[in-house]
A and B are shown apart, each in its own frame.
Chain A
Amino acid sequence: MPHSPQHPTDVGRYAYDAVDRTFLKQRVEQFRDQVERRISGALSEDEFKPLRLMNGLYLQLHAYMLRVAIPYGILSSAQMRTLAHIARKYDRDYGHFTTRQNIQFNWIKLEDTPDILNILADAEMHAIQTSGNCIRNVTSDQFAGAAQDEVLDPRVHAEILRQWSTLHPEFTFLPRKFKIAISGSAQDRVAARFHDIGLLARQGDNGRAVFEVYVGGGLGRTPVIGVKLRDDLPEEDLIAYLESVLRVYNAYGRRDNMYKARIKILVQALGVEEFRQQVNAEFMAMDRARYRLAPAVVEAIRARFASPAFEDVAAAPAVLADQKQGNPAFAAWVNANTHPHQREGYCSVTVSCKPAGGIPGDVTSAQMDLLADLADQYSFGELRITHLQNVVLGHVRQDSLLALWQVLSANGLGTANIGMITDIIACPGLDYCALANARSIPIAQKLSQRFANATLQQEIGALRLNISGCINACGHHHAGHIGILGVDKRGEEAFQITLGGNAGEDASIGQIIGSAMSEDETVDAIARIVDTYLVRREPGERFIETCRRLGAAPFKDAAYATA
C-alpha cells in the first residue's frame, strides 16, 4: 500500500495520508456493496439497518437523513465547501449542525448515498459511526488550540480516540450508542458529565497529560450526571483504560431493553464502586503493552496537525477598542461572540447560527460557502462546529473583527447572542423525526422572535434554553437552564418546562415544573419566568444562580399565572 507522509497543511485538522484515504475509499465501496446486497435481497432490512446507521444513514419521517461526521467539530474551508456542494446538489440547499458537532442532511436519497460518501471521501470526510450502537463521533472543546485556559490541545487525543474507535472489532455491536467527549481545559465546555465517558485533561507532573475520567452520564429518558471513575489517568493508559470500560459495558450492559441499555444504567445497577472494581480488574488483567499509548504515538499524531502562522499583532487590541467605541452594535457582538485567545491580539469568534426567528443550527449552502471564504480570509482556513450548533472561527485578529462582523451581518450570520436566551439548542423535532411527539422548530422560532431585542437579551444575560421534541432528549432539555420538552397530550402537541439544568462543572439536571401547555402558552410562560428572574435577581446574579437560590416555586407560580 502506498504510504507517503507529507507535511500537514490544514490548520487544526488531522492531515490524512494515502493510507487514510485508501481506507475511506474502501469503506465507501463496502457500503456500495451493502446497498446492492440490500436491493438484491441478500441482506434483510433488519440486517441492513445497523450497517447503514454506522454509515450515518437514518430513515426519518419523510426521507433518509445523512449525518456526516465532523471529528471533534473541526473542518477546513475546503471541507465546508464540500458540505455546501452536497447540500446544493443532493439536498434542499441547506444543512443542520448538530449537538455532536456533526452536520445532517435531511432530504437524501438512498441510491445517492454511496456517491455522496465518495465525494466526502475525496474531501477526507465520512459518515462512519455517526449512528448505530458503536462509539460515536468524539466531541471536544470548540476553542481547542486557542483558549487561554487550556492546558493541552484536546484535538490530538480526540483524533487518537477517533482512530482507535474506527471500525473497532470488539465495540461495534455494543448494547447501545456510546458517546465520548474530551476537554483540554478544566472549564468544562464539552458537557463531560453528560457523556458515556467524559475526559478532562490536565498537565501531569512529568509534563505529560493526565485525565479525569467521568463515566455513565447522559440525557435521554433517564438523565444522569456522570461519576468520576479516575482522577489521574496517565496519558499512556488512555486507550487501555477506555478498552477496559468498554469491555465491561459490552459484556454486561443490558440488551433486553433499548431504553435501559446505555452504560449509565449499568453503572447505576452495579453501583459505582462495583463498576470501578470490574473496570480495574479488566485493566489489571489485560495486555497493557499492546494498548499503551506511547509518547511517540501521541507525537506522531500531533505532527499531522498544522499550526497557525500567527503574526505579531500587538497593536490589534487598541484598534479594536477604538472601533468598539463608536459602534455599540459591533461592541455588543464582540462582547457576546468572542472568546479570549492564547495569542495576544487574536480571539476566537463564535458565528451565531441562531438569527432572530431562525431554525437553530440550520445553515444554507451559500452561508457555508461564505463561512469557508471567511475562514480562509480571517482564520487560517479553519472552522469549528460547536455542540451548541454554532460555528467558530478560531484564530481571528482583533483588528479584523469589524470587517468580519460587517460581512457576517450582511449575510444573516451577525447575531450577537452567544450564550443568551436566543442561542437556543433544538432537536429536529416532529418536522423531521419519526420519534418526536412535538415540533421543536416552530416554538424555537417563536421564542427567538420573542426575545430578539438585543438590549433585552443583554439585560437577561447568560441563559441556556434547550428544546427537545420528545423524551429522547436530543435537544438536551435537561441540561438547559430552561428546558422545553415536547409531549403528546391527548393527540395534541404540548410542552413541559424544566428549570435548573446546567452542563458545566456544576452539572445539574433540570426538573419539570408542571403540566404541559400549548406552544403559545409555553412561550408566554417562559416570558413570565424570565420576567420573574429580572425582578428577583440580585446584582450580578445569572439566571441559573437565581434559580438555584430561589428554587422552582416562584418561577412555577409565574409560569402558570394567567392574566
Chain B
Amino acid sequence: MPLLENGQIVEDGWTLVQDDQSLPDGDILLPLSRLSEGLGRNGQGRLGVVLKPDERVESLKDALPRLDVVCLTFPIFRDGRAFTQARSLREHLHFKGNIRVSGHFLPDQYEFLLRCGVNQLAVPEGTDLGVWQKAHERITIAYQPSVLNEQPEGFAFRRYLSS
C-alpha cells in the first residue's frame, strides 16, 4: 500500500513480515511478538513494529531507540485506541520516529491523526489525494493543545492548524 506522508502519496518500501515468515533483509515491519527476533537480526535494513489496538505502547519502551516506525492499526475506523497510542508514543515515550497507521480510517479523521502524532498513513492504491488535502485544509483552528505544539491563536487553548 502507498503511504500518505507530508501531504504526498509516496511508495512504501517496507516489508510487512507475517507471523510464520523468516526475516528478510531490508526495511521490515514486525508484529510485537517478534520484536526481540528483529532486534537480533544480522541483516541490513531498518526495523519497525506493528502494534495492535490492545497492545501497550509501553512494551516498546526499551526498543524504541532502535525502531524507525511504529505502525498502529485500525480494525475499524470507530475504534479510536490508536489515537491514544500515538499520542502516548510522542508525549510519554518521546518517540521521534515515524508513526504509521494502517487499516480502516477516514479522511475525516486525518487531522485528528496528525494532531496525535501520526505522520504516515497506509492508504489504498488509487487514493484521491484531493479528498485528504481538502480534509486537512478544511478546519484551520483547534481548541486544545496537541503534541504538535501548534502556534497559539488569540487566547485560551486555541491553536492555528497549518495547512
Residues on A facing B (Cβ under 8 Å): 1, 3, 5, 17, 19, 22-23, 26-27, 29-30, 33-34, 42-43, 47, 50-51, 133, 160, 163-174, 239, 247, 250-251, 255, 285-287, 290-291, 297, 300-301
Q: Judging by beta carbons under 8 Å apart, are B145 and A291 in contact?
A: yes
* Residues of B close to A255: CB separation below 8 A: 79, 81
**A250 cross-chain contacts in B, Cβ below 8 A:** 80-81, 83-84
**Cβ < 8 Å to A, chain B residues 117-148:** 131, 134, 138-146
How far is A168 from B85 in the complex, measured between Cα atoms in Å?
15
Q: Which B residue sits closest to A1, measured CB to CB?
A: B140
Residues on B with beta carbons closer than 8 Å to the beta carbon of A26: 138-141
Give me the 5 closest cross-chain CB pairs, A-B, nearest first. Answer: A173-B80, A169-B115, A300-B155, A169-B112, A163-B143
CB pair A166–B145 under 8 Å, yes or no, is no
Q: Please provide the chain B residues from 95 to 123 with a CB less than 8 Å away from any CB of chain A in the complex.
A: 106, 108-109, 111-116
A260 CB → nearest B CB, Å: 15
CB-defined A-B contacts under 8 Å, sample of 10: A22-B140, A47-B77, A133-B78, A167-B112, A172-B112, A250-B81, A251-B81, A255-B79, A286-B92, A290-B91
Q: Which of A3, A17, A166, A173 has the most CB of B within 10 A?
A: A173
Given known A-B contacts A19-B154, A170-B116, A290 and B77 have beta carbons under 8 A apart: no
Inter-chain contacts of B146 with A (CB < 8 A) = 169
Q: How many residues of B contact A (CB 8 A)?
A: 40
Q: Which residues of A lie under 8 Å from residue B139 when comparing CB positions?
A: 23, 26-27, 30, 167
Give which listed residue, A29, A164, A167, A172, contacts B157 with CB less than 8 A. Answer: A164
> Of A3, A133, A173, A247, which one neighbours B153 at CB under 8 angstroms?
A3
Contact for B109 among A168, A173, A174, CB less than 8 A: A173
With CB as the reference atom, state the residue of chain A lying closest to B93.
A285
B46 located at the interface, meaning its Cβ lies under 8 Å from any Cβ of chain A in the complex? no
Shortest Cβ distance from A67 into chain B, in angstroms? 20
| Smallest CB separation, B146 vs chain A (Å) | 6
Q: Please state if B79 and A173 are interface contacts (CB–CB under 8 Å).
A: yes
B residues touching A (Cβ–Cβ < 8 Å)?
Answer: 77-81, 83-85, 87-88, 91-92, 106, 108-109, 111-116, 131, 134, 138-146, 149, 153-158, 160
**Cα-based distance from A301 to B158 in the complex (angstroms):** 11
Closest Cβ–Cβ distance, residue A14 to chain B (whole Å) = 10
**In the assembled complex, how far is the CB of residue A93 from the closest CB belonging to chain B, in whole angstroms?**
34
Contact A297 to B91, CB < 8 A, known contacts A164-B144, A251-B81: no
Choice from A23, A164, A173, A285 contacting B83 with Cβ under 8 Å: A173
Nearest CB to that of A250 among chain B residues? B84
* Known contacts A255-B79, A286-B91, A301-B156; is-contact A22 B112 (Cβ 8 Å): no
Closest to A30 in B: B138
